[in-house]
Amino acid sequence: MSTGYLWVKALHIIFVASWFAGLFYLPRLLVNLAQVADGSTAERERLLLMGQRLYRFASLLMVPALVFGLWLWLGSGITGAWLYAKLGVVLAAIGYHHACRVLLRAFEQRRNRHSERWYRLFNEVSVLIFAAAVVLVVVKPF
């Protein structure tokens, strides 16, 4: 393996881990928003601001994660069924990322339709997506 390949791989891992840090915490903010009492405007606004900033930051981290991942895929000739499964997981992560924005927007517009419990379950999806990606890349089960 060339040094360039290893740098691209390292940068990909760094940006993926950073992006997922946002995907781990943003749904937790949604749980907190679902818990806010109706009259607690200051708390609601503070959590919304935190969510908006975190979403923008995670979006900025997602872009280089995807670019470096694409670079690894196209530049190294990696193949295998596990890779196509991982690409499916990447699409799921992108979808989850955008779902977080849709849910945050619902809170912004005071149109939340989900319970705190629902958000707690939604919060775990990012962990499952991350675990699936790691297993597929490290174990390459097929």
Q: What's residue 76's pLDDT?
A: 86
User: What Rg, from alpha-carbon coordinates, does the chain have?
Assistant: 17
pLDDT in tens, 108-132: 999 999 999 999 999 999 999 999 9
Q: What's the CA gap between 51 and 104, in Å, rounded? A: 7
Angle at 114 between CA 111 and CA 117, to 5 degrees: 150
Residue type, 47: L
pLDDT in tens, 50-88: 999 999 999 999 999 999 999 999 988 888 999 999 999
Contact 126, 17 (CB under 8 A): no
Q: Where are the domains of the chain?
A: 3-138
Side-chain-side CA neighbours of 126 within 13 Å: the count stands at 23
Q: Residue 80: left (phi > 0), alpha (psi -120 to 50), or beta?
A: left
Query: Residue 99: pLDDT above 80?
Result: yes
> In sequence order, which ranges of the chain are alpha helices (DSSP H)?
3-35, 41-76, 81-108, 116-138
Q: Which residue has the tokens 């670019």?
A: 67
Query: Residue 28: pLDDT above 90?
Result: yes
